[in-house]
Amino acid sequence: MTDKADTLRGPYLEVRLHQVSPLPPVLNGVLVSLSLYGLYLLLSVNVGQPIIEPADQGVRFNPAAWAALVICLIFGVATTMPAITQAQWRASLPQVRAVLDAAGQDKAEQIAIGPTRRQSRSSLVAFAIGGIVGLLVNIWLLNPPNMPWRDYWTSISPFFAIMNTVVFGLAARGGYMVRYEDREMKRLVENHLQVDLAHLEQNQVFGRLALRGALAWLVMTAVILLFFVESTPALISATALGFALLAAGYAFASTIGPVVRKCSDVRDEALKAVRERIQARASVLVTGAPGEAAPVSELIAYETWLEKLPVWPISAPVTRRLALYGFIPVLAWFGSAAAELVLNRVS
C-alpha cells in the first residue's frame, strides 16, 4: 500500500478540469475569477451592499467590493498555477530528458504526470489546515463586531467566509507544493543529472523552468499587492505579500540551486584532476624522470578554461526576463491606482 502511494501519480483536481477545457489555463483562470466576482456583485445588489461609494474627490470602490475582486483574482491564479506549471514541465520534458540518465528520464516522465497519492493526501491536509486558519481570520478580523447571526446570513460576510477559507487553504497547499517539488527536483538533479562540462548550455532548461515557476508566484504577488490600494487589514495584506515573495524566490532558487551545486562539484573535480596532472608534469620537467607527455601549456589552458566556466544554468535572455518580471507587482499596483483615478474623473 505504501509503495503504491509513493509511485502512483495523478494531477490535481483543478489540473484535470483545465485539461478537459478547450480553453488555455490562463483564460480559464480569468473566466473563473470573473464568474466569482459576478456572483459577489449579484449578492451585493441583493443585500444592498454598495459597490461604488462617494469619496472626498469623486467616487471610489467600496473596500469590501475591492477586497472581493482581489480575492477572486487570487483564487483564479491559485487554481491556474498548477496547470501552467505542469504544462511547462511537459513542454520542457524533451530538453530535461536530454541531460539525464535512463533512470532520471523515467523519473522526469513520472514528475510530469503529477504528484503521488501520498503527496496528494498531504496537500489535502495542508489545504484543510489553511482553510481553518482562513476561517478563523475571517471570524476574528473581517466580520463586523457584534453582528447578530440573522444579519450575518443576509450580508456579504458568508461570501468572504467561504472564499477566505478556500484561498487560505490553497495558499497552504501551494506552500506544500513548492516544498515537495523542491525535494523532487533536488533528488532528480543530484542522482541523475549528467554534467557535460563542454556543453553546459544544455542545462539552461532548468533556468527556464525556474523562471517560469517564479513568474507564477510574481503574478500572485502582483494580485496581492492590490490589497494595499484599499483598506484591507494591513497585517493580512503584508503577510500574504511576504508569503508570495518568499515563494517566488524559493521556487526560483530551488530549481537552479541543485543544478549549480552539481555542476560546481563536477567542475571542481575536473580542476583537481588537471592540477594534479600539472603538478606531475612539473615534477617530470624538473627531475627529468619519465612521466606524462602532455604539454604543460595545454594543461594550464584547460585549467584556465575550467576556472572561467560558468555553472549557472541561466542564459542572458533568462536574466533579462527575470529582471522584467520583477516589475510585474509594481506595474499591477500602479495600474490599479490609475484605474481608481480614471473612475474618479469619469464620475
10-61 pLDDT, tens digit each: 888 888 888 898 999 889 999 999 999 999 999 998 888 888 777 666 667 7
Place of cell 543530484: 190
DSSP assignment of 221-239 equals HHHHHGGGGTT--HHHHHH
DSSP assignment of 92-145 equals HHHHHHTTB-HHHHHHHHHHHH--BHHHHHHHHHHHHHHHHHHHHHIIIIISPT
* 268 within some domain: no
pLDDT at position 97 is 92
CB atoms within 10 A of CB 76: 22
Best mean pLDDT range from 126-135, 208-217, 312-321: 126-135
Q: Average pLDDT, stretch 150-159?
A: 78
pLDDT at position 324 is 66
More confident of the two residues 327 and 33: 33
Spatial separation of the C-alpha atoms in residues 184 and 86, rounded to whole Å: 14
pLDDT at position 105 is 92
* 302 within some domain: no
pLDDT > 80? residue 130: yes
pLDDT > 60? residue 103: yes
More confident of the two residues 214 and 243: 214
* 312 within some domain: no
* 267 within some domain: no
For 227-254, write each residue's pLDDT tens digit.
Answer: 665 555 566 666 766 777 777 777 778 7
pLDDT > 60? residue 137: yes
* 128 within some domain: yes
pLDDT at position 2 is 46
Instruction: Say whether 292 sits in a helix, a strand or coil.
Output: coil
Q: What percent of the chain has pLDDT over 90?
A: 17
Residue of 116, 224, 112, 117 whose CA lies nearest to 170: 224
More confident of the two residues 84 and 142: 84
Name the strand (E) or helix (H) holding 262. Answer: helix 234-287
Domains identified in the chain, total number:
1
* 287 within some domain: no
pTM of the entire structure?
0.76
More confident of the two residues 327 and 40: 40
pLDDT at position 122 is 92
Q: Average pLDDT, stretch 311-322?
A: 70
pLDDT at position 185 is 85
pLDDT > 60? residue 345: no
pLDDT > 70? residue 337: no
Question: Residue 262 burial (CB < 10 Å; 0-12/13-18/19+)?
Answer: buried
Instruction: Say whether 320 sits in a helix, a strand or coil.
Output: helix
Least confident range from 124-128, 178-182, 189-193, 304-308: namely 178-182
pLDDT > 70? residue 90: yes
* 135 within some domain: yes
* 164 within some domain: yes
pLDDT at position 292 is 53
pLDDT at position 242 is 72
Q: Which three cell numbers stand for residue 231?
A: 483598506
More confident of the two residues 177 and 338: 177
Domain that includes residue 244, residue range: 2-256+317-346
pLDDT at position 31 is 94
Q: Which three cell numbers stand for residue 233?
A: 487589514
pLDDT at position 106 is 93
